[in-house]
Amino acid sequence: MRIVMMGTGTFAGPAFRKLIEAGERVVGLVTQPEREGVKPRGSSRLVGEGLAGVARAAGIPVLQPPSINVPEAIGELRSLEPDLLVVAAYGQILKPAVIEVPKLGAINIHASLLPKYRGASPIAHAILNGETETGVTIIRISPGLDAGRMLLQEAMAILPDETTGELEIRLAELGARMGFDVVQRLKVGPVDGEIQDAALVTKAPKLAKEQGAIDWKQPAEAIVRHVRAMQPWPTAYTFAHRPGKAPVRIALNLVRAAGEFAVNAKPGSWLVDSPAGSLYVACGQQSVLSVLALQPAGKSRLLAADYLRGHPLVSECRFDAG
């Protein structure tokens, strides 16, 4: 079976390496073009270690069209004579003309328990929404967004403090194994799969940088999930307001919910009666957030205790919009 891999970044890497190491006949890689001046980050939609380098080291041809759906790119794909496309976090929606190129069609390794969380950011949205488990679904690609028949599905628990980046790494390994299993089944014969229940569909659209902004009116538990979901990108952020000082953008790296408070503090306020070396912040529904690690703009990550040595607690300090 002649296989063409389509993917970009950290989520696609394990599946691609699995196919190569198992001796599958991988005849090409289609991946996103490198973007000059873009700093790699851990998102499944970015370059990561660079699949193109892995492919070239293995002697596998690489295609990097800005769009796979234009006639020229489709022609290049057709020249590879694929029997099957294996897709993982490629970052472009495949039009019917692309799906029709391989004899056996295309399968996608999707990081959710479909039909929940169709879209570009299923891992982050699962954490945001307080899910206790997610998983991987292998689907046959159809013209609808993540709407194809489900060929294989497996659940995985979300760990209590896990970030999007950390969970993505574990799901990528699971997806690699599952994708490989489906390839073996397709070698034997057709795999029908299960139709998704349209009534259970939820969406997980691509994250925007602005979604990192923290809403302090939310309860502490929701803010904890937000901080976890926004790592490694776009990161959860707020602005520190101190008397007589200009607001400073702060990324929050590690936080914990810390119970309730009795005083009528405005959400975002730093609680001056916090334990020594601790930064407690008032949140919605009279809840409290403990900030354990943070990163001021242009500075290194700091433990809260280290930050407070230079920024002592006073009653008018608060986190809020810039």
Length of the chain measured in residues: 322
Among 200, 223, 255, give the residue marking a domain's end. 200
Contact (CB, 8 A) for 134 and 111 = yes
71 and 183 assigned to the same domain: yes
Q: What is the CATH number of the domain that holds 239?
A: 3.10.25.10
**Residues spanned by the domain of 106:** 2-200
Q: How far apart are CA 214 and CA 100, in angstroms?
A: 44
Q: Give yes or no: residues 191 and 50 share one domain.
A: yes
215 with 176, same domain: the answer is no
d(CA 87, CA 91): 10
Say whether both 122 and 229 belong to one domain: no
* In a shared domain, residues 158 and 18: yes
Residues 140 and 268 in one domain: no
Tell me how far CA of residue 52 lies from CA of 47, 141, 269, in angstroms: 9, 23, 48
> Pick from 145, 173, 200: which residue ends a domain?
200
Of 139, 170, 200, which residue constitutes the final position of a domain? 200
Same domain, 175 and 261: no
CA 298 from chain centre, in angstroms, equals 24
Do residues 156 and 134 lie in contact, with contact meaning Cβ atoms separated by under 8 Å? yes
The model's pTM is: 0.93
pLDDT of residue 47: 42
d(CA 226, CA 101): 41
**Tokens matching residue 258:** 């810390």
Give 300's contacts (C-beta < 8 A, 6+ positions apart).
none
Together in a domain, 243 and 178: no
* CATH, residue 168: 3.40.50.170
**Same domain for 128 and 85:** yes
Task: Specify the pLDDT at position 50.
Answer: 82
What per-residue confidence (pLDDT) applies to 37? 44
What token pair was written down for 52? Answer: 């193109």
Q: Count up the domains in the chain and report the number.
A: 2
Cα(122)–Cα(210) distance, integer angstroms: 18
Are the CB atoms for 102 and 140 separated by under 8 Å? no
Over the chain (322 residues), the average pLDDT of each successive run of 10 is: 96 97 98 66 46 96 97 98 98 96 97 98 98 98 94 98 97 98 96 96 96 97 98 97 95 93 84 91 94 96 95 92 78
Who's near 105: CB < 8 A, 6+ residues apart? 84, 85, 99, 140, 141
pLDDT of residue 140: 98
Same domain, 227 and 145: no
Same domain, residue pair 219 and 180? no
pLDDT of 263 reads 64
In angstroms, the CA 110 to CA 146 distance is: 8
Question: Can you give the pLDDT at residue 35?
Answer: 66
SS3 track for the chain: CEEEEEECCCCCHHHHHHHHHCCCEEEEEECCCCCCCCCCCCCCCCCCCCHHHHHHHCCCCEECCCCCCCHHHHHHHHHCCCCEEEEECCCCCCCHHHHCCCCCCEEEEECCCCCCCECCCHHHHHHHCCCCEEEEEEEECCCCCCCCCEEEEEEEECCCCCCHHHHHHHHHHHHHHHHHHHHHHHHHCCCCCECCCHHHCCECCCCCHHHHECCCCCCHHHHHHHHHHCCCCCCCEEEEECCCCCCEEEEEEEEEEEEECCCCCCCCEECCCCCCCCEEEECHHHEEEEEEEEEECCCCCEEHHHHHHHCCCCCCCEEECC
Domain match, 169 and 37 both = yes
- 259: which 2 tokens? 């119970």
